[in-house]
Amino acid sequence: DAKTTQPPSMDCAEGRAANLPCNHSTISGNEYVYWYRQIHSQGPQYIIHGLKNNETNEMASLIITEDRKSSTLILPHATLRDTAVYYCTSQGGSEKLVFGKGTKLTVNP
Amino acid sequence: DAGVTQSPTHLIKTRGQQVTLRCSPKSGHDTVSWYQQALGQGPQFIFQYYEEEERQRGNFPDRFSGHQFPNYSSELNVNALLLGDSALYLCASSPTYWAASYEQYFGPGTRLTVT
């Protein structure tokens, strides 16, 4: 079973920030939070990961709460090409990834 | 720098047949994992290979087997195909098995249809 919970769907206006929440209340101390996205019929794409500090890369920002029980993925200026299913997972070391059903993000023009 | 590649792209098989899917990891990666993704579901972990050995296995029957070669490429074999095996099969590679953090890079997948 997935160790994370996400809303099934979200909408965002093009050009606005998309904030995707994830709950991982049972996360262990050595587990990282990972975000992937999957555009229709393609393989999942790695976005970002973090342990306890906030992280930013060219794709997105990851905000992890101090108690590490939840996180938010932020796409600062969403485009139509960001429409995808976004998966939040938690994993320690080389453990297997366990995917839930993710959040289907629709970016509207 | 080539990413993860998989072959074939699509495959149609008949119930009871056997199938072999292939994966070449991203350059510099030594660990390969396989996932099955049914329509409308998230990917489900099948198994992981490192140093030519199966290191972890998900909840899949023995009909699913794999192999990793010295060049880190990998095969997924499925015997006695069932209709329920129809899915997108994804291969993912990772930089190193022993890292504390472990992002995975996925290939485009092989779409298997069992009739």
Q: What is the mean pLDDT of residues B49-76?
A: 95
Q: State whether residue A39 sits within 8 Å of chain B by CB.
A: no
Instruction: Say yes or no to pLDDT of B96 above 80.
Output: no
Residue B75 pLDDT > 80: yes
End-to-end C-alpha distance for chain A, whole angstroms? 35
Exposed, middle or buried by CB within 10 Å (0-12, 13-18, 19+), for B86?
A: middle
CB pairs under 8 A between A and B: 68
- For residue A99, the model assigns a pLDDT of 86
CA A47 – CA A42 distance, rounded (Å): 15
Looking at the complex, does the CB of residue A80 fall below 8 Å from at least one CB of chain B? no
Residue B58 with chain A: CB contacts under 8 Å: 96
For the segment B4-33, the average pLDDT, to the nearest whole number, is 96
CB-nearest to B45 from A41, A97, A101 is: A97
Q: Which residues of chain A have pLDDT under 50?
A: none
Q: Quick one: which of B53, B58, B70, B52 has its CA closest to B34?
A: B58
CA distance A76 to B95: 28
Task: Quote the pLDDT of residue B1.
Answer: 59
Q: In this model, does residue B26 exceed pLDDT 80? A: yes
